[in-house]
Chain A
């Protein structure tokens, strides 16, 4: 047990949907490192680039024409808040990867504005992630990553790259933006993998 702080009682966690060290919020706080990029839809592209350099690209109308899922998921931010039962609509990465030929094990996700984040490719597949473009029934607002963001809710939310632009497949894992700044390379909230070495 840690050092006891005299007189601290705290509020007990009453919800088993909350990972260790998280508290519940009803708001939707925003965290990002710079200004919100504005991406005109007619210029928007989403690209998957294989480890051999082959590109698979979708325009905005092409993305919207793909079959989409509705997903209700819990979000866990490394700064400590969790937002439970959020409703999203988007295209499963399984759909986008259907025609992609790859033997790579890792992915680097790129955003408009320059943000990057890395994760194992298998964490993007099998119904675990989406390119999401609607939140709670509305178009996804720019400050929350609109027009489209990656949604990979089983990892801390910094992995769910806002303003997503593409995915580059890699044979070797490499750190993205926050991962290179001392945050955990994988980021499982249930193992409380906040920072490097956790």
Chain B
């Protein structure tokens, strides 16, 4: 396992919501202006802190959804119905309101445009967020690294960034959607959980020595990482990030 990147001391910064959009019925992208933001790498996450009027605070970690863009930081937050923080961020936080943010955090689950190895991204549900940051970073840098994305979702309605993924597909990104409950019309693959066949057909052969990034709920990541190892991928080339069921 290689060493991850070193980062400096992290301070809490004020972040103002300047724009937002719904990705699905329950997932909202927040565009935050963070003066003094030091920039970040695709795949990193940030800590968000909310403070109530009486001084009570709650903090959670969220992956950044887009590459560095000056003072703007984009997060996509999935509402967890019984969560403490996410329902506020998706349903309540108004434009011009302020929260606190610190980061970036995590120097391991990152992709850098200079890396020449082909890339396989495997997302389960809201695990698409840090992988989308990588897709966007590649596009922004005009990078030609071969990328393949396999994105597992329950239903077509739960696909984040659907329009952008369609456009990225036309621009040469390989995108395979794996529907687990209800497939989109015209899809040949019957709905069902991701299999070794999916990863073999829509991923890279192990001989190409791709870097594999897997992000999603714990069970999904466990299964996919094991399947990739079983297909001959070097465990050291498989980087994982897991969203527990309690990200609330």
Q: Is the CB of B244 within 8 A of A5?
A: no
Kindly state whether residue A197 has any CB partner on chain B within 8 Å: yes
Q: Is the CB of A34 within 8 A of B242?
A: no
Kindly state whether residue A35 has any CB partner on chain B within 8 Å: yes
Enumerate chain A residues within 8 angstroms of B106, measured Cβ to Cβ.
Answer: 181-182
Kindly state whether residue B229 has any CB partner on chain A within 8 Å: yes
Q: Is the CB of B225 within 8 A of A6?
A: no
Given known pairs A3-B14, A12-B56, A27-B244, the reply for A33 and B1 (CB within 8 Å) is yes
Q: Is the CB of B6 within 8 A of A10?
A: no
Kindly state whether residue A32 has any CB partner on chain B within 8 Å: yes
Q: Is the CB of B92 within 8 A of A33?
A: no
Q: Is the CB of B218 within 8 A of A8?
A: no
Using a CB-CB cutoff of 8 Å, which residues 122-181 of chain A contact chain B? 143, 177-178, 180-181
Partner of B6, one of A31, A115, A116, A182: A182
Kindly state whether residue B9 has any CB partner on chain A within 8 Å: yes
Enumerate chain B residues within 8 angstroms of A23, measured Cβ to Cβ.
Answer: 58, 84, 246, 248
Enumerate chain A residues within 8 angstroms of B229, measured Cβ to Cβ.
Answer: 35
Enumerate chain A residues within 8 angstroms of B143, measured Cβ to Cβ.
Answer: none
Q: Chain A interface: which size bin?
A: 35 or more
Q: Is the CB of A113 within 8 A of B245?
A: no
Partner of A2, one of B12, B61, B94: B12
Q: Is the CB of A143 within 8 A of B239?
A: no
Kindly state whether residue B161 has any CB partner on chain A within 8 Å: no
Q: Smallest distance from the beta carbon of A188 to chain B beta carbons, Å?
A: 17
Enumerate chain B residues within 8 angstroms of A11, measured Cβ to Cβ.
Answer: 58, 84
Proximity string of chain B (183-201) to chain A, C-beta cutoff 8 Å, 1 when within and 0 when not: 0000000000000000000
Enumerate chain B residues within 8 angstroms of A3, measured Cβ to Cβ.
Answer: 14, 51, 98-100
Q: What separation, in Å, do the CA atoms of A1 and B51 have in the docked complex?
A: 8
Q: Is the CB of A8 within 8 A of B50?
A: yes
Q: Smallest distance from the beta carbon of B229 to chain A beta carbons, Å?
A: 5
Q: What separation, in Å, do the CA atoms of A2 and B15 have in the docked complex?
A: 12
- CB-nearest residue of chain A relative to B225? A35
Given known pairs A34-B1, A34-B238, A81-B244, the reply for A181 and B50 (CB within 8 Å) is no
Q: Is the CB of A79 within 8 A of B61?
A: yes
Using a CB-CB cutoff of 8 Å, which residues 53-105 of chain B contact chain A? 53, 55-61, 84-85, 88, 92-94, 97-100, 102, 105
Residues of chain A touching chain B, judged by Cβ–Cβ distance below 8 Å, are 1-12, 21, 23, 25, 27, 29-37, 79-81, 113-116, 143, 177-178, 180-182, 194-198
Q: Can you report 10 residue pairs joining A to B where beta carbons are below 8 Å apart?
A: A7-B88, A7-B93, A8-B50, A10-B85, A23-B58, A23-B84, A34-B1, A35-B229, A114-B1, A195-B7
